[in-house]
Amino acid sequence: MFDSLIKRGFQVEIHSHARAILSVDFPDAVAELEEAVGGLSIPIEEIIGSGGGESQGTQRLRRKLAELGWTKMNFTVEKRINGVAREAISHEIDHVKTFDAGVIACEIEWNNKDPFYDRDLENFKRLHADSAISVGVIITRGTSMQDHLKAMVQRFAVERGLNSHEAVVAFGMSRTARQNREVERRVNAGMTYEEAWAGQFVSDKYGQATTHWSKLEDRVHRGVGNPCPLVLVGLPSSIVTFNEGLGLEDIEGEAAALVEEGIAAATE
């Protein structure tokens, strides 16, 4: 199961009998997730241009899932006493699809604060307990992605000649005085400018307190979300591409197009 992803270096963990449930009742869901996730690539420029937010590559993954029928859904669980509504709890899930055998829910956590995992897992747990979903899926940055981010950003800096504060600003990236001081501190400690800038950028934007595999794995292994059947997918560094010839203006242009498309879809 998910063999094509695993062969390409994606991390996949399956918990609480999700393998048996998916293989018997939801083979189409597995195929669609493999198609959507397996087709993902992220140019390094998008990781830089996103400034730590959601990359356009992740937005393309969202669009692909939506094309396959995995759309946003708001679940409302209501408590009633003698026919009178006393309490209602809502759970919004970004990607949900209903199959003949039941419902699969999926969240993508590219670069949020890591407590978002608690929200996702608790939502899945409650919805599964209420028989609203059969399996929960979380897609996030994998171990190799997290471990190699600094090296990839440093390679980008070297290839683009980002060897000074002035070069970074000329490329189109604003810098705070604090960020510049931190880069200078690292340079004074013996790093090249490119290494210092890459380390500071990754620490600021993709640090240990953000959503990545080890933070998710820690929670699941200590039982958060249990007993909801879960599938965890880690995006590997191998999906990051170089030499696409993109600049920040290209990234900003695609982001604007995605926003415009989203507004148009909302008004249809």
Supply the pLDDT for residue 109. 96
Supply the pLDDT for residue 51. 60
Indicate if the pLDDT at residue 251 is higher than 50.
no
The pLDDT tens digits of the residues spanning 81-109 come to: 887 777 777 889 999 999 999 999 999 99
Indicate if the pLDDT at residue 77 is higher than 70.
yes
Q: What is the pTM of this model?
A: 0.87
Indicate if the pLDDT at residue 212 is higher than 90.
yes
Supply the pLDDT for residue 26. 98
- The two tokens of residue 90 are 């809502």
The pLDDT tens digits of the residues spanning 147-200 come to: 999 999 999 999 999 999 999 999 888 889 999 999 999 999 999 999 999 999
The pLDDT tens digits of the residues spanning 109-124 come to: 999 999 999 999 999 9
**Cα 222 from Cα 240, distance rounded (Å):** 31
Q: What CATH number is attached to the domain comprising 114? A: 3.40.91.20
Torsion of CA 183, 189, 190, 193, to 10 degrees: 0
Average pLDDT, the chain: 89
250 occurs within a structural domain: yes
Rounded to 5°, the CA angle 256-261-264 comes to 125
Rounded to 5°, the CA angle 241-145-19 comes to 110
244 occurs within a structural domain: yes
Confidence of residue 204 (pLDDT cuts 50, 70, 90): very high
221 occurs within a structural domain: yes
Supply the pLDDT for residue 245. 58
- The two tokens of residue 181 are 């001081």
222 occurs within a structural domain: yes
50 occurs within a structural domain: yes
Mean pLDDT of 17-28: 97
The tally of domains found in the chain comes to: 1
- Domain boundaries, position 11: 3-69+92-152+206-267
29 occurs within a structural domain: yes
Indicate if the pLDDT at residue 261 is higher than 50.
no
Supply the pLDDT for residue 262. 42
Indicate if the pLDDT at residue 247 is higher than 60.
no
Contact of 204 with 180, CB cutoff 8 Å: no
Indicate if the pLDDT at residue 6 is higher than 90.
yes
Mean pLDDT of 239-246: 79
27 occurs within a structural domain: yes
Indicate if the pLDDT at residue 74 is higher than 50.
yes
Query: What b/e string do you get for 65-93 counting C-beta neighbours within 10 Å, with b at 16 or more?
Result: beebebeebebeeeeeeeeeeeeeeebeb
81 occurs within a structural domain: no
Indicate if the pLDDT at residue 266 is higher than 50.
no
